[in-house]
Amino acid sequence: MNETIGNIRECIIEGGHREIEQLVRAACRSGLPPDRVVEDGLIAAMDVVGEKFGAGEIFVPEMLVSAMTMTLALNVLKPLLAGHAGAPKGTVLMATVRGDLHDIGKNLVIMMLEGAGFRVIDLGVDMDPERLAAEVKERRPEVLGLSALLTTTVPEMERVIEALRAQGLRNRVRVMVGGAAVDAAFAQKIGADGYGRDAAQAVALVRRFVTP
């Protein structure tokens, strides 16, 4: 691997938010294509961060700093990407369900998806099923991602799927669910298309859903 890209990768993994912009600018000045910096630097780094999180080596505080560092890198690269990258790989709508204001998981998933080249529309927190169905109808995303932290709010996920069915939208969008109170069996029971245990798995799911 190119040494400069290796340094960018390590910087993101280690949460070097003070150094990252300088490193990325230097990489671009040296003639590295920005889309390669994204693929081999940013996305590769966040894949490692996701693996470390899944293995219990790091936790949300460290992951938030890595994600913040990646976002700083992405902001430097975005203006340069226009001529290099193709269209976004797909569109994902993200929200926490009604009654749940806990949005760290959702925010981490969004940052990871953006880093992985997807277009993400963040609908925020506390979203009614009917409102979510209306957003799916209007924006036609490939994937709808629902998050719930609390065991008191998980029943809302099923209501969202019911609302999509009621409006004839269920077959138009893949629904993925996640959050501390959810597991794969629950996801299957409510008729979701997939469950992500953490942000890295959510990215893997979306990659699978939108692969042509």
Partner 1 sequence: MKPTPHNLFMSALYGGRKGARPPAGNPTSIACRELMKACGAGFPEAHLNPRAMADLALAGHELAGFDTVMPEYSVHQESAALGCEVDWGNETRMPDARTTPHADFSDVVVPESILDKPSLRVVLDALSILRREVGGQAAIIGKVMGPWTLAYHVAGTQNFLLRLGLGEADRIHRMLRQLMPVTIRFANAQLKAGADAVVLADHATGSLVGPYHYRDFLLPIHREITARVGGPMILHVCGNCLDRLELFAESGVDAYHFEWQVDARAAVEKIGHRISLIGNVNNTRTLLQGTPEDVYGQARYAIAAGVHIIGPECAIPLTTPLANIRAIAAAVREGY
Site residues for partner 1 per CB under 8 A:
15, 17, 56, 58-65, 68, 98-99, 101-104, 107, 150-155, 180-183, 185-186, 189, 198
- The nearer residue to partner 1, 85 or 104, going by C-beta atoms, is 104
Give the shortest CB-30-to-partner 1 separation in angstroms.
29
Taking the least distance from each CB to partner 1, the nearer of 36 and 189 is 189
Contact 178, 105 (CB under 8 A): yes
Q: How far is the CB of 118 from partner 1 (least distance, A)?
A: 21
Collapsing DSSP to helix, strand or coil, 90 comes out as coil
Nearer to partner 1 by C-beta: 17 or 25? 17
Q: How far is the CB of 1 from partner 1 (least distance, A)?
A: 26
Q: Closest by alpha carbon to 9, among 81, 79, 69?
A: 69
Residue 208 C-beta: closest distance to partner 1, Å: 23
| Cβ contact 102:153 at 8 Å | no
| Least distance in angstroms from the C-beta of 130 to partner 1 | 14
Q: What Å distances lie between residue 203 and 22, 83, 120, 137, 199, CA to CA?
A: 27, 25, 12, 23, 6
Please report, for residues 5, 178, 180, 201, the alpha-carbon distance to residue 184 in angstroms, rounded to integers and kept in the order given. Answer: 36, 9, 12, 12
Strand-pair category, 91-96 with 194-196: unpaired
Report phi then psi at 210, rounded to 5: -100, 0
| Structure tokens given for 155 | 């029943």
| Cβ at position 57, least distance to partner 1 in Å | 9
Calpha distance 28→43 (Å, rounded): 17
Q: Smaller CB distance to partner 1: residue 5 or 13?
A: 13
Residue number with CB closer to partner 1 (63 or 92): 63
- For partner 1, the closer CB: 5 or 154: 154
